[in-house]
Structure 1
Amino acid sequence: MGIFQSIKGAVMKQAMKSQMKGLPPEQQARILAAMNKDPQFFEDLGKQIDRKVKEGKGKVEASMQVMRENQDKLRKLMM
């Protein structure tokens, strides 16, 4: 892994931690572990959500739709 990927991963991890402040620590750890397993998948999720928001959906609605569309892979990563 190059230096750019390391920095990008660290920035992404910090951004996720700030978004998960209200979650219990064990749930935060599970999510971060899943992100470490397949960071590209989570980056793609973010892009899909952004695309749906630009299409006019609310952020929560877009997030829920993308998560439902990808729920099988999310479940596998969260195990």
Structure 2
Amino acid sequence: MSMKTFFVRKMLKAKGVSDDQIDMIMTIMEKNPELFKKIQSEVEAHTKSGMNETMASMVVMKKYQSELRDLLTKQ
């Protein structure tokens, strides 16, 4: 397990995410890490422009909704 994976798991666990959900999230992140890098950078860009993090996440996730759905159905 890489350090990045370790810290993502710990952060999700600290937020109260169940082990099953953590496994699902880690699986889809490993399938398409570039997509998640794009999502992260776009959320950061929105927050730097003044949008709160929750709203920025919702806007960006909606933009990539079909790609995320495809990853979830291909498990």
RMSD, aligned α-carbons: 1.6
Q: Post-superposition, which runs of at least 4 consecutive aligned residues in structure 1 deviate over 4 A?
A: none
Q: Give the aligned partner of residue 29 of structure 1.
A: 23
Aligned residue pairs total: 71
Unaligned stretches of 5+ residues in structure 2: none
Instruction: Output the CA distance in 1 between the equivalents of 2:7 and 2:19.
Output: 16
Instruction: Output the CA distance in 2 between the equivalents of 1:15 and 1:67.
Output: 22
- Shift in alpha-carbon separation, 1:78–1:12, aligned structure 2, 3 A: farther
Q: Map of 1:1-79 to 2, 5 A cutoff?
A: 10-21=2-13, 22-79=16-73
TM-score by length of 1: 0.79
Give aligned-pair identity as a percent.
Answer: 27
Instruction: Output the CA distance in 2 between the equivalents of 1:51 and 1:15.
Output: 23
Deviation at 1:60, TM superposition (A): 1.0
TM-score by length of 2: 0.83
